[in-house]
Amino acid sequence: MPKIDLANVPERLGSGYPAPFHETSPTRVRKALGDAAGLRDFGVNLTRLPPGEWSSQRHWHSDEDEFVYVVSGEVTLVTGKGREILRAGDCAAFAKGEPDGHHLINESGADAVYLEVGTRSARDVCSYPDVDLHFDPKDEWYTRKDGALYPRR
């Protein structure tokens, strides 16, 4: 399947986080291009982020590299080191195991579109430095940092 028909790739609206962490991205739209192409070693998402919304909670991965390329619009990259504007044509990368959480916020007045590329690791643990949230695949769902499971939405 060399060419992916974007019109036929399903859209995922909002966030999969447990309440209340999902509230920062209610109308974010992702298209899983990697899944549509049958890719297994890495994922690719085309994401539309409306004004005022977040890409995710600020996070970092133990065993997954991530790369973001801004296709259109403008987002603010937030890390432990501060804030930086990314515009169309800009990119950022996050190496696995680096404990500096990151996320994007659309603080502009127009939609932003970006590609997310990341490895897929069954061993990856995702840490969220700003909120009481943790993901370890052995738990099969999000937990508090003390290990207590969040209710599913």
- pLDDT, one tens digit per residue, over 89-99 is 999 999 999 99
The DSSP call for residue 63 is: S
What confidence score (pLDDT) does residue 1 get? 61
- pLDDT, one tens digit per residue, over 106-120 is 999 999 999 999 999
In a 3-state reduction of DSSP, which class is residue 132? coil
pTM above 0.85, yes or no: yes
Matching residue, tokens 């291009």: 33
Residues 123 and 135: their CA atoms lie apart, in Å, by 11
Domains in the chain, CATH or no CATH each: 28-143 (2.60.120.10)
- If we measure between CA atoms, which residue out of 10, 71, 70, 65 comes closest to residue 36? 10
For the chain, what is the mean pLDDT? 97
Taking residues 2-14, what's their average pLDDT? 95
- pLDDT, one tens digit per residue, over 64-76 is 999 999 999 999 9
